[in-house]
Structure 1
Amino acid sequence: MKANQGAQPYNEINITPFVDVVLVLLIIFILMTTAAVQGIQVDLPSASSAQTLEAQKSRVIAVSNDGTISIDAIPMSLSELEGELRRSVSTTPDLAVILRGDRAVQYDRIMQVLDICSKVGVPSLGMASTRPPGGGA
């Protein structure tokens, strides 16, 4: 006795599992992109007379407490940072760079980033800080 008597072979591919996998990957991609846009979490020091820098033509360099350097939430080495800043300054002459250094990071790491900004010729450099509670405008 044959089990498939009279049964015809499949002429179509069932794509339902494929669609499920694609939708899950899409959701994961959306969540990861949203997390990357928010940036690197840095514990900023406070300043009593902090000024706001326009963020329209700016790049944000973050130095986390473990010394990791990232530009616009993309981790990179010092040589990669220098190349990226050179490209940014050449395409945007009035580029502003905002440096966000964690309060626990070694001062030497901040100085290395400042040295690269100076070497590349960044026209405008600001250092991010938090305003103290009850501080000025």
Structure 2
Amino acid sequence: MFIVFFAITQIRFALRFVYSDNAKFNIALCKKYVILMLAITKKKEGRMMKKVIVACGGAVATSTVAANKIRELAKREGISVEVSQCRVNELDSKKDGVDLIVTTARVRKDYGVPVIHGVAFVSGVNIAATEQNILNVLNQ
């Protein structure tokens, strides 16, 4: 969180230069600075932030339970992760740039991204194995 706050502060600082005498140079410099600061916010402890999508039928109940468990797991293991939720039928449009898909519904389609069945987070059965499978993907 501190890194994000720091980056926003630095971006504000850089944007002040846009309004000075040499505007063209300052705008180009500002753009590079903003890109650099955004890249820094994606890193935590030298590791890139991993993106995980948790999908279920309605993107509300079971995906929320699974998403919270994945956030807890990642925090416990020191993995920087961004977890979002969606419906299974939205996976095609949201899979770009994602490192892992966890579903609480059965999915047979190949998305070109590792897919893990996460119903264990809802049922409570075989949670350790599911967590290990998720860690194996996130630690790659």
Q: Same fold (TM over 0.5)?
A: no
Higher helix share: 2
TM-score, reference length from structure 1: 0.31
Relative contact order, higher structure (CA 8 A, sep 6+) = 1
Calculate the TM-score normalised by the size of structure 2: 0.31
Asked which structure has the greater CA Rg, the reply is: 1
